[in-house]
Structure 1
């Protein structure tokens, strides 16, 4: 292992240097495993056809219907975040944290793919919450009254589960490519952790992430951070 890049300050004790070198090897192995998973994902065969469902959004203050196929823009791929909402609990705090981050990088993502947030809540509730969070860069749509979440198999006992999907378009045909849920099929969590930098930063701390969970607080001043 090259020592051209040293990841500890002068004066570090030998036991620290030894442990850090071992950790670095593990970090490189993790990087390689992530690359292998990404390659497997890219190699998925053609997915199921999807109906070109009409969703609801607000454009220039006017509520309008927008077909799913129109969300791709100039791209052949579309990233959809499924924002969890239940009548009793409202918007999912974890989803809100993820969307805080997506709001900040939306312009970069949209150079490569379409990006949309779809939620079963009424569109007026979605836009109100987006205004409180400061999600000014995200395209937000309601799927209320449609079979979109059922067709995507992201309905849970309490409503839509937090999930991310990638769809593709070939001419007028819209197809499913990939979906990841916050919870793995075996019931374990952390299914979407890699999509949020917050968890990666907390894992750097000596105490780790512990039992911390994001609070559903509106961002101060309408900014996207809290």
Structure 2
């Protein structure tokens, strides 16, 4: 698969680019050969990520949003169109913190905590909304507890947004979901939604998306022990 961007330029073979001149103290020739081979794979992975992103951007127009959903926001009732603000693009994340949960999903919370730190930069390009079915008071109370500063929270308890765009059963469990919407004039269309999950997971792998939006996993994937299988992010940790 070759993207339009790749076809317009000639790329050197990854193995040619991967002949790194870097050397770390004490490394062996065996290590350097293996590291350069891995570097070639990393270059190919970067290129593949770029090809996938280009194909995503080239998607044909998605479906018209069937209604101007109404949410309870931190500054009063809000519609989906109002969430866009000055932007033409809106990213939404369905947070697993429905009314049946006593506490929110730790994995979602880990991701959102990382995104809160990036939000001032993200909001330069697009609007971003965190949506959950719990009453707004529960959402904002946890926001204060967690110390989030920039995330914008909305309760969808009074509409069908989670059913329509996160494939949730109103009587069932919560589902995490990223969705992207695009506004042109008075028309709002769905641009993209993540569709990777348990049914698309390979044996033994987490049902994660690609690229993985979790900075936590990106860091751990660089380590000898990887992600591990005997732990899970927590909502709070004991102070040492």
- Counterparts in 2 of 1:194-209, with a 5 A limit? 194-209=212-227
Q: Which structure's residues are more often strand, by fraction?
A: 1
Residue in structure 2 matched with residue 54 of structure 1 by the alignment: 70
1:165 is matched with which residue: 174, 179, 183?
179
Deviations 1:162-220 (A, max 9, x none): 11111111122221111115625435512266212110100111011112321122898
The answer to whether the 8 A contact 1:85-1:159 is kept is no
CA distance in 1, matches of 2:238, 2:125: 28
Shift of 1:111: 0.6
Of 148, 151, 154, the residue aligned with 2:161 is 148
TM-score of the two chains, using structure 2 as the length reference: 0.83
Residue 213 of structure 1 aligns to a residue in which SS?
coil
- Deviation digits for residues 34-89 of structure 1, max 9, x if unmatched? 11110111111111111111110122xxxx21011011111110111110124145
SS in 2 for 1:90: coil
Match of 2:137 among 111, 124, 132: 124
How far apart are the structure 1 equivalents of 2:22 and 2:198?
34
Whether the 8 Å contact between 2:89 and 2:181 is mirrored in structure 1 is: yes
* Distance in 2, Cα, partners of 1:138 & 1:145: 21
Q: Does residue 45 in structure 1 map to residue 57 in structure 2?
A: no
CA RMSD of aligned residues (A): 2.2
Query: Secondary structure of 2:233's partner?
Result: coil
Q: Quote the Cα distance in structure 1 between the aligned partners of 2:238 and 2:160.
A: 32
Aligned with 1:11 (options 3, 26, 34)? 26
Q: So what's the TM-score if we normalise by structure 1? A: 0.87
Alignment of 1:176-191 (within 5 A): 176-181=190-195, 183=197, 185-187=199-201, 189-191=207-209
Q: CA deviation at 1:10?
A: 3.6
Query: Structure 1 CA distance, aligned partners of 2:17 and 2:40?
Result: 11
Please say which of residues 152-161 and 169-178 is displaced more in the overlay. Answer: 152-161
